[in-house]
Structure 1
Amino acid sequence: MAKKLYWLVFLLTLRIATFAQGVSKTERIVSLNGTLTEILCDLGLQNQLVGVDITSTYPAAMEKIPKVGHNRNIGAEAVLALRPTVIIGVRSNGSMDLKPEVLQQFKSAGVKTLIFEQETNVAGTKKLITEVAKAFGASAKAVALTRKLDADLARVRKPAKVQKVLFIYARGTGTMMVSGRNTPIEKIVQLAGAQNAFNDFESFKPLTPEALVSGNPDVILLFTSGLESLGGMDGLLKVQGVAQTNAGRNRRVIEMDGQLLTGFSPRLGLAVQELSRKLSQEVSLK
């Protein structure tokens, strides 16, 4: 009787431990967010990824992993076809990328689906790293990652002069938006020692010549892919209103990788370092 009771307690303890950990040691993971993908890779779980969304551009090895679409337009079929045992995504600043009906399809298929809260700030990044690591039984590695993040941020050298930075999200001249308050862009610009050009509206709004002139940024910031979609510097200067700004007159344009700039991933400190360094450079993009 005592022996049976011992095994009953042992199995119950094992079951509780497994539940607390969230997932087992070996899984077939589909990541629907580039930041989560980076975290998993930094935790040493890269080999368990069987599918990722197209924002998962780092590390370079992710190029070889099957893509399931953009995280804001995911279809359940493409994900489930990879036979995942775990699907992970985020709710960023209170907004869910994944459509509710798709999330329900995952649950109906019996696949464990983990949605993590992401806040685009330093504390939120460290919290996300910690929670993902806990879910996958790698909490010890999270400590090293968050310490490195703090060390990277401590190395940031902010420019001597505070500059107004205008971020333009571009997908060709037909789709151009500018960033306002309470955006990941505003937060990383501030971390780099600069000021967002617009603070009279929240989120994003369409770019207009009038807005460019009134904002009159010292620097224009774009994703590398966005600048390329406009035809580079020459194409950007042809956008109505750009040439009339301080940034346009001085050809002060900064381009950065999109996932690095806005992902708020373990590379956040490196992103702030790069932006601060480019803001401090006198030589503009030619």
Structure 2
Amino acid sequence: MGRVLRFNKLPKRIVSLVPSQTELLCDLGLEHQVVGVTKFCVHPGHIKGQSTIVGGTKQIHLDKIRELQPDIILCNKEENTKAIVEACEAICPVHVSDIFTVDDSVELIKQYGALFDRQTKAEELTLAIRKKLDEFNRFIETHPLKKVAYFIWKNPWMVAANNTFINHLLKLNKFENIYGHLARYPCSLTQFKTQLNSINFH
């Protein structure tokens, strides 16, 4: 969104509106600083029992968030709308992640490490991810390419296409996304049926 975030002190009270980022915060040892989460934040399993549920990822309760007096609210471009981000900015600074690749994920971990003074733990996590990714790339290198379709929703049917984190991971796994020529998350059942009927899956 073209904003620069500045803090006069370490942000300690955190509201996370992104399930995967809630889990990351806990991995960084920030579990007890997470005061608000969404109803979809289910990892670790007990997090909803100790943090206030402030809504979902697309519909939030601003009054609940305001009552928590957060120092920072964490959002994501895929999960949350621009309207949500702008509404939350009236409460406190809002950090918005934008993840398309593993490198983006590693960069976010580093940002959180710096932002919440967890640099050592962040470094451990990023090194472990890099090591596992290198191992996996060697493992998958000789595997044959397979064609796949990745459906993410029904009513309406939607698929993950190009310029998405899902498509990036499919490529890493030697899967050819048959909808990779389309943009983002298209939903057209007629188009899907035509495409599927023209593909020989193995």
TM-score by length of 1: 0.59
Match of residue 23 from structure 1: 10
Question: Is 2:135 the counterpart of 1:150?
Answer: no
- 1:170 matched to 2:153: yes
Q: Which residue of 2 aligns with 1:117?
A: 97
- Counterpart of 1:45, as a letter, is L
The CA distance in 2 between the partners of 1:187 and 1:207, in whole Å, is 22
1:140 paired residue number = 120
- Describe the SS at the equivalent of 2:158: strand
- Call closer, same or farther: CA 1:100–1:150 in 2, change over 3 Å: closer
One of 46, 51, 67 as aligned partner of 2:36: 51
Instruction: Give yes or no for contact 1:189–1:196 (8 Å, CA) kept in 2.
Output: yes
The 1:217/1:50 distance shift into structure 2, 3 A limit, reads: farther
1:74 paired with 2:60, answer yes
Q: CA deviation at 1:202?
A: 0.3
Please give the secondary structure, in 2, of the residue aligned with 1:50: strand
Matches within 5 A, 1:190-205: 190-205=171-186
Structure 1 residues without counterparts, runs of 5 or longer: 1-17, 219-244, 248-286
Structure 1 residues 85 and 217, CA, compared in 2 at 3 Å: closer, same or farther?
Answer: farther
Partner of 2:3: none
Q: CA deviation at 1:117?
A: 3.2
Q: Percent identity?
A: 23
Corresponding residue for residue 34 of structure 1: 19
Deviation sequence 1:131-177 (CA, Å, 0-9, x none):
01101111111110101111221332327221111111224xx2211
Structure 2: stretches of 5+ with no match in the other structure: 1-6
TM superposition shift of 1:57: 2.2
Aligned length: 192
Q: Structure 2 length as normaliser, TM-score?
A: 0.81
Q: CA RMSD of the aligned region, Å?
A: 2.7
Q: Which moved more, 1:191-200 or 1:76-85?
A: 76-85
Decide whether aligned partners of structure 1 residues 191 and 169 sit closer, same or farther in structure 2, where only a CA change above 3 A counts: same
Q: Which residue number corresponds to residue 161 of structure 1?
A: 144
Given candidates 208, 220, 224, the residue that maps to 2:189 is 208
Q: Which of 101, 111, 116 is 1:131 aligned to?
A: 111
Mapped partners of 1:179, 1:87: distance in 2: 27
Cα deviation, 1:46-96, whole Å, max 9, x if unaligned, reads: 01111112342222222323321222222311211333333222345xx85
